[in-house]
Amino acid sequence: MLHRFFGGVHPIEHKDLTEQKAAVPLPEAPAQVVIPLSVNGGEPGLPLVAEGDSVKVGQQIAQPQGLGAPIHASVSGKVSAVESRSYGGGGKMLSVVIDNDFQDTPCPDGKRRSSATGITGGEIRKLIEDAGIVGMGGAGFPTSAKLESGLGKVDTLIVNGCECEPYITSDYRLMLERGEAVIEGARLLAKALGAQKTVIAVETNKPDAIELLRAQAGGEEDLRVQPLRTRYPQGAEKQLIQTLTGRQVPSGKLPVETGCLVFNVATAAAVWEAVMEGKALTRRYVTVTGGALVRPMNVIAPVGTPVSWLIKLAGGFQMPPDRVLLGGAMMGTPLYDLDAPVMKTTNCVLCLTGDEVGRQDPAQACIRCGKCAEVCPMKLAPLFIRMNAEKRRWEAARALHAMDCIECGCCGYICPARLPLVQSFRMAKAAIREEKSRSGAGTGEEQKKGEGEG
The residues of the shown chain that bind ligand SF4, judged by CB under 6 A, are 366-372, 375-378, 380, 382-383, 405-411, 414-417, 419, 421-422, 425
CA separation, residue 101 to residues 52, 80, 91, 105 (Å): 13, 12, 28, 9
Report, in Å, the least distance between residue 366 CB and ligand SF4.
3
Report, in Å, the least distance between residue 159 CB and ligand SF4.
23
CB atoms within 10 A of CB 25: 10
Q: What is the 3-state secondary structure (H, E, C) of 302-326?
A: ECCCEHHHHHHHCCCECCCCCEEEE
- Shorter beta-carbon distance to ligand SF4: residue 274 or 419: 419
Angle between helix 382-390 and helix 421-439 axes, rounded to 10 deg: 60
- Shorter beta-carbon distance to ligand SF4: residue 55 or 162: 162
Report, in Å, the least distance between residue 396 CB and ligand SF4.
15
- Shorter beta-carbon distance to ligand SF4: residue 20 or 423: 423
- Shorter beta-carbon distance to ligand SF4: residue 349 or 419: 419
- Shorter beta-carbon distance to ligand SF4: residue 133 or 403: 403
Report, in Å, the least distance between residue 232 CB and ligand SF4.
10
Q: What is the rounded radius of gyration, in angstroms, for the C-alpha atoms of the chain?
A: 21
- Shorter beta-carbon distance to ligand SF4: residue 367 or 399: 367
CB atoms within 10 A of CB 174: 27
Q: How far is CA 411 from the centre of its chain?
A: 21
| 12 touches 167 (CB < 8 A) | no
- Shorter beta-carbon distance to ligand SF4: residue 30 or 452: 452
| Distance between CA atoms of residues 48 and 61, nearest Å | 5
Report, in Å, the least distance between residue 451 CB and ligand SF4.
11
| Distance between CA atoms of residues 244 and 242, nearest Å | 6
Report, in Å, the least distance between residue 164 CB and ligand SF4.
13
| Distance between CA atoms of residues 2 and 325, nearest Å | 33
Report, in Å, the least distance between residue 4 CB and ligand SF4.
16
CA separation, residue 8 to residues 151, 171, 235, 366, 376 (Å): 32, 21, 11, 20, 6
- Shorter beta-carbon distance to ligand SF4: residue 309 or 425: 425
Residues paired with residue 97 on neighbouring β-strands, in sequence order: 34, 81
Residues in the chain: 454
Report, in Å, the least distance between residue 402 CB and ligand SF4.
8
| Distance between CA atoms of residues 317 and 69, nearest Å | 35
- Shorter beta-carbon distance to ligand SF4: residue 200 or 410: 410
Report, in Å, the least distance between residue 211 CB and ligand SF4.
32
| Distance between CA atoms of residues 339 and 146, nearest Å | 31
- Shorter beta-carbon distance to ligand SF4: residue 184 or 451: 451
3-class SS of residue 126: helix
Angle between helix 179-193 and helix 170-177 axes, rounded to 10 deg: 90
- Shorter beta-carbon distance to ligand SF4: residue 394 or 425: 425
Report, in Å, the least distance between residue 406 CB and ligand SF4.
5
- Nearest Cα residue to 95 out of 84, 103, 86: 84
| Distance between CA atoms of residues 34 and 82, nearest Å | 9
Query: Phi-psi category of 304—alpha, beta or left, where left has phi over 0 and alpha has psi -120 to 50?
Result: left
- What backbone torsions phi and psi does residue 309 show, to the nearest 5 degrees? -70, -40
Report, in Å, the least distance between residue 357 CB and ligand SF4.
18
